[in-house]
Structure 1
Amino acid sequence: MAQDVLFPLSKSLWAATAAPAPQTQALTASTKADVLVVGAGYAGLSTALHLAEQGVSVVVLEAREIGFGGSGRNGGQVIPGLKYDPDELMAMYGPERGPRLLQFVGGTADAVFDLIDKHGMDVPRRRAGWIQGAHTADAVKLTEGRARQWERLGVKVQVLDRASAQALIGTDRYQGGWVDTRAGGIQPLSYVRGLARAALAAGARVHTDSPVAALSREGAQWVARTASGAQVAADRVVMCTNAYVGKLLPGLQESIIDACTYQVATRPLPPAIRDTILAQGHVVSDTRNLLLYFRLDHEGRLLMGGRGPFREPRGPADWAHLERVLVKMFPQAAGQPIEHRWCGRVAITRDYLPHLHEPAPGLLADIGCQGRGVGLQTAMGRAFAQYLVGGDARSLPVPITPIQGLPLYALRRLYVGAMINYYRMVDGGL
């Protein structure tokens, strides 16, 4: 399986501070399994873990290293829900599926923190809640409505005015917002490595440096051929590659915008500065179309993330806009050296929802996170295991749909660029 993103994971803050990865090896001899999982990220390893715990024979093939894709490159924010509000999801999915979906997405953060505790994972974490900062008066109304909808469903929330937002975040750049107390922050690469360790302990076989070169149906089974020539024959296959699928499953890559998300991190802040920024440990993203997301890590570094060039980075200048934003947002951090710069690709679907596909019997594909991947894909793996063992599609949070390519996919960089320029104008500058 070809990989489009070559920017090394080792450049990230997470690689510098993560717990060691479990020992794994490339697949060197052909083998068989009940289920083959392609991709050792949150969804793939959660699927493997939950299947192995039920006695299912599972092989996981990863093209690079555990967490090489978005699972090792994200901001470590564990946020439940989806981009849409509860009332919108009920209208979209109806009275039967809608409540089940809300229950599922409302519990995705629980899925992460529960697994960490259950398996004693070495994962720095703090569950202090997520603040969505409102950058305009209209956005304040939006966040107030969003908070009230979740509150009606029993979620503990807090609506923020300008003063309370400034006090909690440490900047005067937001006019208000809301707090979702279910959320938190983790060291994301340590977590995906913890998932791998738990899956291995449960009996799953995980092979890194084993890119899948071809996938075909041969009689009653699927056969995946790796670049080395070794094969895996399995009754079922689960594709968990997200934005890194390449050409392995025809049409799937063309169904998403595989945009880059960029992040920077300072060195650990001096206590006098650290105490003025997110002093209660919240994670934050805001209401901009080109949203900013930021937090402190477990050692007091300030992280700032957002959109950057669609292409692979060419040098430090590609992160310069985030470094400017960081200082404008938090002038008290001016002069603090930037210690890490990294990026990775995210899968954006046309409707900003996760998509599940079964293009052939026994072949299940999952794609689309929209900024909720840590919790969403962890819980999705549990749902995949329930579906594969029980065969009931009601175990899945969203219906299985056909793969549908984006129009004018080859021109996506042009129209994404135009969309970004428009959003920058609408969002306003910092």
Structure 2
Amino acid sequence: MASQLRQQCLWEHVLPPSAPGTPLAGETTAEVCVIGAGITGLCAAIHLLEQGRTVVVIDANRVGHGGSGRNVGLVNAGTWIKPDDVEATLGPVQGARLNSVLGQAPAEVFAMIERHGIDCQARNEGTLHMAHNPAGVADLRARHAQWSRRGADVELLSGGRCEEYCGTDKVAAALLDRRAGTLNPMAYARGLAAVVERLGGRLFQQSAVTGLQREGFGWRAHTAAGSVLADKVVISTGAYTEGEWSVVRGNYFRGYYYQVASRPLEGAAAEGVLPHGQGSWDTRAVLSSIRRDSEGRLLLGSLGRVDNKPAWFIKAWADRIQRHYFPALGKVEWDMHWTGMLDFTPDHLMRLYEPAAGLVAVTGYNGRGNTTGTVVGRALAEFLLTDRAEDLPIPFSANKPVSVPGLRSAFYETGFSLYHAGQCLRVIL
């Protein structure tokens, strides 16, 4: 009998059930209020607590509910775009700084995990960016050359070495980035939350912010059942930002990313898939991500959403990708699927904001939240401590809302759905 395909996030499924979150009730005070218990907000809170500040973290849902706990789990270096393009957009000085900070970001993630003893199945084995056609090979050659000039530990694999690392002969070349790696993102987020509480921070969940206003020299964040009065505020809600109170709303457009996980796989064919432990993604415009988890499951993902699509569609897409890259696996039983949201910006670069004194915000990770969130959380905390904007990885942006963000989101989602339908019908791959 075929397995039933469940709508459930694997990363949460493999962890012990978390304790019910405590909602905020009544009034409380802190030196800093962090809105959003994802990777950015939790890392900011940890750094502030380590410097002796009092911190309250509030979240509309549960720790890891958003993109922080639902992503692919890649610990990537750099941005979505090439490092030369970053410097062309930001200028040589600021662009070089951002490339340097995010190039070293995986090391900061792994150091955070080790320093605090976070059990999140982290592996620092690198990642593989896989070329699906000749244009993809050219793209990887450019990325390899640009990162190599900056001293990064990257290698362009081809021939038998590429097939060995990827576990498929359908990839002409692959960029191995040894700086990078993988983890269970939900376990990472929960581990960070545990550190916050261990350091004396107060964490309130199921407490959506309904308003944020100036009060005296500070800020008051309101929820349905309480409020937090703080000297300073960090807004780190990303694509899950809700409510007109937020200064970042409208400065990005939402996208979606879905994943499908198999049951645990065994045998020589399964062990031949990404045998050295890297996570990977290909060079398609509508990419496919591929990785295995610590229990041998095969995880496939792509841009778009499947929480609104039937099981046959999801299975047909996953079968198509799996049979193209790894036909030796035979028939794979798909077990669960889940969809998360991303905050995109037109130039694929994040934005930092300081709309008023003592209020900072970030948006636009463009799918690179595990590493970017870790370093930006620390950077925002350091800014609140020192007021040194020049030390930020990227300058503060002016408030420049994205035009018709809802239409952009709908346009992209329609395109992704049509592309995936073409894959299911074997019209395209």
TM-score by shorter chain over 0.5: yes
Structure 1 residue 84: deviation in Å?
Answer: 2.4
Structure 1 residue 252: deviation in Å?
Answer: 2.8
Q: How many pairs were matched up?
A: 419
Aligned to 1:57: 54
Q: 5+ unaligned residues in a row in structure 1: which ranges?
A: 1-8
Structure 1 residue 258: deviation in Å?
Answer: 1.0
Cα gap change, 1:49 to 1:20, in 2 (>3 Å): farther
Aligned counterpart in structure 1 of residue 173 of structure 2, from 154, 172, 176: 176
| Matched letter for residue 256 of structure 1 | Y
Alignment of 1:122-137 (within 5 A): 122-137=119-134
Aligned to 1:88: 85
Instruction: Report the TM-score, using the length of structure 2 for normalisation.
Output: 0.92
| Matched letter for residue 59 of structure 2 | E
- Secondary structure of the 1:290 match is coil
**Structure 2 CA distance for aligned equivalents of residues 17 and 414 of structure 1:** 32
**Structure 1 CA distance for aligned equivalents of residues 314 and 273 of structure 2:** 21
Cα gap change, 1:94 to 1:34, in 2 (>3 Å): same
Alignment of 1:199-218 (within 5 A): 199-218=196-215
2:126–2:179 Cα contact (<8 Å) kept: yes
Cα gap change, 1:114 to 1:20, in 2 (>3 Å): farther
Aligned counterpart in structure 2 of residue 298 of structure 1, from 291, 294, 297: 294
2:251–2:363 Cα contact (<8 Å) kept: no
- Secondary structure of the 1:30 match is strand
Aligned to 1:429: 428
| Matched letter for residue 205 of structure 1 | R
Structure 1 residue 110: deviation in Å?
Answer: 0.9
**Structure 2 CA distance for aligned equivalents of residues 405 and 423 of structure 1:** 28
**Structure 2 CA distance for aligned equivalents of residues 410 and 106 of structure 1:** 32
**More deviation, 158-167/390-399:** 158-167
Q: 5+ unaligned residues in a row in structure 2: which ranges?
A: 1-5
Cα gap change, 1:280 to 1:392, in 2 (>3 Å): same
Question: What's the C-alpha RMSD, in Å, of the aligned pairs?
Answer: 2.3
Aligned to 1:407: 403
Structure 1 residue 378: deviation in Å?
Answer: 0.7
Cα gap change, 1:414 to 1:377, in 2 (>3 Å): closer
Aligned to 2:314: 319
Alignment of 1:186-335 (within 5 A): 186-228=183-225, 230-250=226-246, 252-309=248-305, 312-317=307-312, 319-320=314-315, 321-335=317-331
Cα gap change, 1:332 to 1:421, in 2 (>3 Å): same
Cα gap change, 1:25 to 1:167, in 2 (>3 Å): same
**Structure 1 CA distance for aligned equivalents of residues 391 and 94 of structure 2:** 11
> For 1:120-154, what per-residue CA distance to the aligned partner results, in whole angstroms no more than 9, with x for missing partners?
11221211111100112122122112112212222
Structure 1 residue 289: deviation in Å?
Answer: 1.0
Instruction: Report the TM-score, using the length of structure 1 for normalisation.
Output: 0.91
2:282–2:288 Cα contact (<8 Å) kept: yes
**Structure 1 CA distance for aligned equivalents of residues 343 and 48 of structure 2:** 25
% identical aligned pairs: 36
- Secondary structure of the 2:395 match is coil
**Structure 2 CA distance for aligned equivalents of residues 318 and 69 of structure 1:** 24
**Structure 2 CA distance for aligned equivalents of residues 53 and 270 of structure 1:** 44
Cα gap change, 1:19 to 1:42, in 2 (>3 Å): farther
Aligned counterpart in structure 2 of residue 73 of structure 1, from 70, 74, 88: 70
Cα gap change, 1:324 to 1:155, in 2 (>3 Å): same
Aligned to 1:375: 371
Cα gap change, 1:49 to 1:284, in 2 (>3 Å): same
Cα gap change, 1:114 to 1:326, in 2 (>3 Å): same
- Secondary structure of the 1:273 match is helix
Aligned to 1:5: none
**Structure 1 CA distance for aligned equivalents of residues 410 and 117 of structure 2:** 46
Cα gap change, 1:326 to 1:227, in 2 (>3 Å): farther
**Structure 2 CA distance for aligned equivalents of residues 126 and 183 of structure 1:** 9
Structure 1 residue 190: deviation in Å?
Answer: 0.7
Aligned to 2:108: 111
1:19–1:190 Cα contact (<8 Å) kept: no
